Structure 1
Amino acid sequence: MALHVIVGKGPVGQTTAEHLVARGHQVRVLSRSGGRSTETVEHRRVDATDVDALTEAARGAAALYNAVNPPYHRWATDWPPLAAALLTAAERTEAVLVTMANLYVYGRPSGPMTPDSPLIATDVKGRVRIRMWRDALAAHEAGRVRVTEARASDFVGPQVPGEHSHLVRQLPTLRKGRRAWVIGDPDAQHSWAYLPDVAATLATLGTDERALGRAWHVPSTPPRSQRQALTDLAAAISVPPVPVTGIPWPVLRAVGVAVPMVRELVAVRHQWDQDFVIDASGTTQTFGLTATPWDEVVRATMAGGPGTG
């Protein structure tokens, strides 16, 4: 039984901790606020930008997981010191650094995205993520540290708070039978990442040496547009489909003047105004991981998402 240290106790960190415990590992979760330790998961209060404290908390770990989630509009300022501290701590402790990442690095896609797709993002958030990965990969290639990265599309599942998911935030609307206002084109095809599949991928990358030195996509079911996905979610609780309408981009730009979160969404409109689909076949072929069937994802999400009961 190895020690696995997770930095961040949000949905990704908590679900990954549960998955690692189920595999028989010892798990320690680090966060600014700490938490109540249990028989299976130890919680410690640690500032992840404090490299000495982070190193001490990760000492003896087989893997160190970056499951941090800075505020969307503060990536450019918050991520560089966090990423640098995590990389240094992994180097000092010789733990494998497993980073939870996303698809921002690819910019506007011209087809299904694979881990080998060019990293051509031009927006601020995409460039931040590119720099993080390139710094980690350079350290890996120099023999200083061992790294790997999981990239996933937008999250779905009962573990995901509404503010963290474009689908989950619509669940109260579905239950009330009201119009769903969505970002971008409601009919553009989109990949969705079920959070337990994200956790399974992270846990695998942290325990299999074949993962090292490259990025991997989280297996996802065949893409569904926002309209299709919301229709499926409504059907799971036997309610009629609700009207689904895209919020006009000029409206979002106007709102974004005062609301930083909305402003950041407009900056990555390419993820929502065209098909945004991933190819995770390499993950499946190498590790045997597959996506949870969509109907199971839908049932679980509706059973435990916001507005239940």
Structure 2
Amino acid sequence: MGKHVVVGSGQVGSHVAAKLVAQGHEVTVVTRSGSGPEGAVKVAADIADQARLIEVTKGADVLYNCVNPQYHRWLTDWPPMAASFLAAAESSGAVLVMLGNLYAYGPVSVPMTEDLPLSSPNPKFRVRAKMWDDALAAHEAGRIRATEVRGSDYFGPGATDQSYLGDRFIVPLKAGKSVQLIWPGDVPHSFTYLPDVADALITAGTDERAWGRPWHVPTAEPLTFRGIGTRMAELLGRPAPRFSQVPWPVIRLGGLFSPMMRELKHVRYQFTAPFVLDSSAFQRTFGVAPTPIDEAFKATLGA
């Protein structure tokens, strides 16, 4: 058993920490508020405080970056926190496992693989690309051991209200009401199951074959919002749900008042054309597969 430090206790970090505790590891969870699951040591800290994070990670075997600032704060919040993670990984010798995403690839017309360039021109997404570039440079210089694990849009138990398959989708579906979408309902899109994200992060932190490169979380075949809703309704023994879509001009208007809605314009390309994640490299290397989709849907529905 080893010492694992999980920074962040949101929809991914909470799963990672709970799984590690269940496996018998020594687990420390670091958040601003000092929250975390039972069985973990809970530490309240400012992640941008390098000295504090270095202190907390002494003796750690693996350090997980599961932090996720709000999109409109990425340019200001990420650089100092990224510097703290690099400093803590170098000081402690812990493997740095970064929770990444697909934004840095930018718009692509093919299934996304890990060898695609991080070519998004969006300044916020360039911040994420630089974080990985800096970690990889430190890894290649022998200063740290690092890897990044990237998934598509999350769903599953514990998903936040920002999830497109969260309560805004599930609650009306279960109630037999119309499901309101902000994106087209019939465009194929990859969705990544939260427990699979946690499992992939843990594997990446403890298997040296993962270090020095990025990986995609095992993810099921792409589906449409309509297809997902229809299958979920079938699993509940109910008729196919009705769908409505919020007109894009209304969303743009909402962006005048909501920072989160204002950011939707930057990811719109992901939902107006097929957005497909290829996770075959991780599945082949580590001999795992995504959770069967019906099993994942049942857990998401609490069915």
1:98-117 maps to which residues of 2 (within 5 A)? 98-117=97-116
Aligned residues of 2:14 and 2:36 also touching (Cα < 8 A) = no
Give per-residue Cα distances to partners, 1:45-96, cap 9 Å, x unaligned.
1111111010110010011000111112111111111111111111111111
Whole-Å separation in 2 of the counterparts to 1:33 and 1:276: 35
Aligned residues of 2:74 and 2:124 also touching (Cα < 8 A) = yes
User: Aligned partner of 1:27: which letter?
Assistant: V
The TM-score with structure 2 as length reference comes to 0.96
1:107-256 maps to which residues of 2 (within 5 A)? 107-161=106-160, 163-168=161-166, 169-256=168-255
User: Aligned partner of 1:166: which letter?
Assistant: Y
- Once the two structures are TM-superposed, the CA of residue 9 in structure 1 deviates from its matched residue by 1.1
Number of the residue aligned with 2:24: 24
Number of the residue aligned with 1:293: 292
Number of the residue aligned with 1:270: 269
- Once the two structures are TM-superposed, the CA of residue 127 in structure 1 deviates from its matched residue by 1.3
Whole-Å separation in 2 of the counterparts to 1:172 and 1:290: 29
Give per-residue Cα distances to partners, 1:265-295, cap 9 Å, x unaligned.
1111111111111000000111112100000
Whole-Å separation in 1 of the counterparts to 2:17 and 2:27: 6
SS at structure 2 position matched to 1:148: strand
Q: 1:36–1:216: structure 2 CA closer, same or farther, 3 Å change rule? A: closer
User: Aligned partner of 2:209: which letter?
Assistant: R
Whole-Å separation in 1 of the counterparts to 2:36 and 2:232: 34
SS at structure 2 position matched to 1:164: coil
Paired-residue identity, %:
49
The TM-score with structure 1 as length reference comes to 0.94
Whole-Å separation in 2 of the counterparts to 1:158 and 1:239: 21
Whole-Å separation in 1 of the counterparts to 2:196 and 2:69: 22
Whole-Å separation in 2 of the counterparts to 1:142 and 1:245: 52
User: Aligned partner of 2:113: which letter?
Assistant: T
- Once the two structures are TM-superposed, the CA of residue 187 in structure 1 deviates from its matched residue by 0.8
Q: 1:199–1:37: structure 2 CA closer, same or farther, 3 Å change rule? A: closer
Whole-Å separation in 2 of the counterparts to 1:103 and 1:35: 28
Give per-residue Cα distances to partners, 1:83-136, cap 9 Å, x unaligned.
111111111111111011111011111110011112111223321211111111
Number of the residue aligned with 1:261: 260
Higher mean alpha-carbon deviation, 239-248 vs 22-31, is at 239-248
Whole-Å separation in 1 of the counterparts to 2:8 and 2:148: 16
Whole-Å separation in 2 of the counterparts to 1:36 and 1:185: 36
Aligned residues of 1:236 and 1:302 also touching (Cα < 8 A) = no
Whole-Å separation in 2 of the counterparts to 1:213 and 1:302: 37
Number of the residue aligned with 1:307: none
- Once the two structures are TM-superposed, the CA of residue 36 in structure 1 deviates from its matched residue by 6.7
Whole-Å separation in 2 of the counterparts to 1:251 and 1:18: 40
Q: 1:152–1:245: structure 2 CA closer, same or farther, 3 Å change rule? A: same
Could you list the runs of 5+ residues in structure 1 that have no partner in the other structure? 305-309
Q: 1:36–1:286: structure 2 CA closer, same or farther, 3 Å change rule? A: closer
SS at structure 1 position matched to 2:249: helix
Whole-Å separation in 1 of the counterparts to 2:7 and 2:281: 26
Whole-Å separation in 2 of the counterparts to 1:217 and 1:37: 26
Number of the residue aligned with 2:82: 83
- Once the two structures are TM-superposed, the CA of residue 244 in structure 1 deviates from its matched residue by 2.0
Number of the residue aligned with 1:53: 52
- Once the two structures are TM-superposed, the CA of residue 261 in structure 1 deviates from its matched residue by 0.3
User: Aligned partner of 1:76: which letter?
Assistant: L
- Once the two structures are TM-superposed, the CA of residue 37 in structure 1 deviates from its matched residue by 7.1
SS at structure 2 position matched to 1:128: helix
Aligned residues of 2:9 and 2:36 also touching (Cα < 8 A) = no
SS at structure 1 position matched to 2:118: coil
Give per-residue Cα distances to partners, 1:168-194, cap 9 Å, x unaligned.
231111123222222322111011111
User: Aligned partner of 2:179: which letter?
Assistant: A
